[in-house]
Amino acid sequence: MKITVNGKSLEVSANSTVQQLVEQLDLGHERIAVEHNQHILEPGDFATATIEEGDTLEIVRFVGGG
Amino acid sequence: MDGFTIAGRTFTSRLMVGTGKYPSLPVMRDALAASGAEIVTVAVRRVNLEAREESLLAYINLDKYFLLPNTAGCHTADEAVRTARLARAAGLSNWVKLEVIPDDGTLLPDPVATVEAAEILVNEGFVVLPYTTDDHTVARRLLDVGCATIMPFGSAIGTGQGLPNPERLRRIIELVDGRVPVVIDAGIGAPSDASLAMELGADAVLVNTAIAKATNPVQMARAMALGVQAGRFSYLAGRIPRTEVASPSSPETGLIAKESAPTTAKA
């Protein structure tokens, strides 16, 4: 199924969780934050948050800044 | 120990350092170490899904540094609040360096939107460190809504113009009157600027570009730390007032030479 992650279209398998998406993107070891359909997830919720067709996710991390 | 406290947490280094614009992450890591900073700022950005990028946090020891996420790049209060919430969700802390800067190329803060966002975030339990102008009324509004520091600019971000309006900063420091720390953020170009900020009575300074873009960032980080320390010691020691009239440092009596010669000032 198609979802949108960080403004880009992405293919994931049906019934994926956010945790699976994070691992698929190889971000398992990064300190990240995820917004799922405008709702910010606590890190503990990644495993139970299920992704559906057409969902929109934002995944952010820390970068250099002032 | 001459420390200062933000929201119950005490720091001994009065130099906060940003992590942007370094020639490389190893140079950033070494500059942070040389600066002696305890608080380092970071930005929050989308993970790049196209190209794998090195992790900033691989170069920052979280046992040693307190990470302060900013809302840089946010043009509105809503964007800043959303970014702050995301930063908190990443699980490091509930602190945020609040920046709301209109998309007009000046990098000067929007004080009205900053106060608005600050109030929302304070009510959500955030420790809010707002980047603001050197306007004392805005500083008072930020105090009123419960900000944990006031962070007025010296001059515009990245300009290195130092502190062209020290009297305005002094007025803010007097207004805040020790209720929260005042941190001079942005515009500092050299250790002498950092010294001046501290001599005015600021509690700390935040520097990024002046270190990151120096020819030798690591050496400049050390220089900046010394500048901050010199300025702080000077503030504590109490500098002499400026006067119109010269006064000699050496005794005016007991001079050799002719009794009739006129006294000359200074040696």
> Which residue intervals of chain B are DSSP H helices?
25-35, 77-89, 111-123, 136-144, 166-176, 191-199, 209-212, 217-237
Q: Which CATH class is domain B4-237?
A: alpha beta
Q: CB of B168 within 8 A of CB of B134?
A: yes
pLDDT at B105: 85
Q: What is the pLDDT of residue A29?
A: 87
How far CA B205 is from CA of B97, B162, B225, in Å, comes to 13, 12, 10
Residue B261 has what pLDDT?
A: 58
Mean pLDDT of B203-223: 98
- Chain B residues with CB inside 8 Å of A45's CB? none
Query: Which amino acid is residue A56, in one-letter code?
Result: T
Q: Is residue A43 over pLDDT 90?
A: no
pLDDT at B266: 60
Give percent above pLDDT 90 in chain B.
Answer: 88
Give the pLDDT confidence score for residue B116 in this predicted structure: 98
Tokens of A46: 């990644």
Q: Is A1 on the interface with B (CB under 8 A)?
A: no
- For testing contact with chain A, the best of B29, B39, B47, B92 (most A CBs within 10 A): B47
* Residue B49, pLDDT above cutoff 60: yes
- Cβ burial of B41 (10 Å; 0-12, 13-18, 19+) is buried
pLDDT band at B52; cut points 50, 70, 90? confident
Question: Over 90: is that where the pLDDT of B79 sits?
Answer: yes
Residue linked to tokens 């006129």? B262
Q: Which residue of A has its CA nearest to B40?
A: A66
In this predicted structure, what is the pLDDT of residue B264? 63
Number of Cβ within 10 Å of residue B94's Cβ equals 15
CB-based contact (8 Å) between B19 and chain A? yes
Q: Provide the domain count of chain A.
A: 1
Active-site residue identified among B97, B213, B258, B266: B97
Give me chain B's average pLDDT, please: 94
Q: Which residues pair with B243 in a beta bridge?
A: none
Q: Is B258 annotated in the active site?
A: no
pLDDT over threshold 70, residue B265: no
Does the residue A66 lie in any domain?
no
Query: pLDDT, tens digit, for every residue of B126-156?
Result: 999 999 999 999 999 999 999 999 999 999 8
CB contact under 8 A, B42 and A31: no
Q: Cβ atoms within 10 A of the Cβ of B137, count? A: 11
Residue A57 forms contact with B (CB below 8 Å)? no
Cα–Cα distances (Å) from B249 to B246, B260, B264, B266, in that order, read: 10, 22, 12, 6
Mention every residue, 6+ apart, whose C-beta is less than 8 A from residue B129: B6, B68, B95, B96, B97, B98, B147, B148, B149, B151, B183
Please give the Cα distance from B55 to B22 (Å, whole number). 14
Confidence of residue B240 (pLDDT cuts 50, 70, 90): very high
HEC secondary structure over B72-116: CCCCCHHHHHHHHHHHHHCCCCCEEEECCCCCCCCCCCCHHHHHH
Residue B158 CB: number of other CB atoms within 10 A?
Answer: 18
Query: Cβ contacts of residue B121 below 8 Å, gap of 6+?
Result: B81, B84, B96, B98, B128
- In this predicted structure, the answer to whether residue B67 has a pLDDT above a threshold of 90 is yes
Question: Is A31 within 8 Å of B91 when comparing Cβ atoms?
Answer: yes
CATH assignment at residue A6: 3.10.20.30
The residues with which B95 forms a beta bridge, in sequence order, are: B127
Enumerate the domain spans of chain B. Answer: 4-237
Burial of B212 (0-12, 13-18, 19+ CB in 10 A): buried
Nearest to B239 by CA among B203, B195, B175, B205: B195
**How many other C-beta atoms lie within 10 A of the C-beta of residue A58?**
19
Q: What is the pLDDT of residue B106?
A: 87
Q: Return the number of other C-beta atoms located less than 10 Å from residue B71's C-beta.
A: 28
Residue of B nearest to A66 (CA): B18
- Domain that residue A48 falls in: 2-61
Residues in chain A: 66
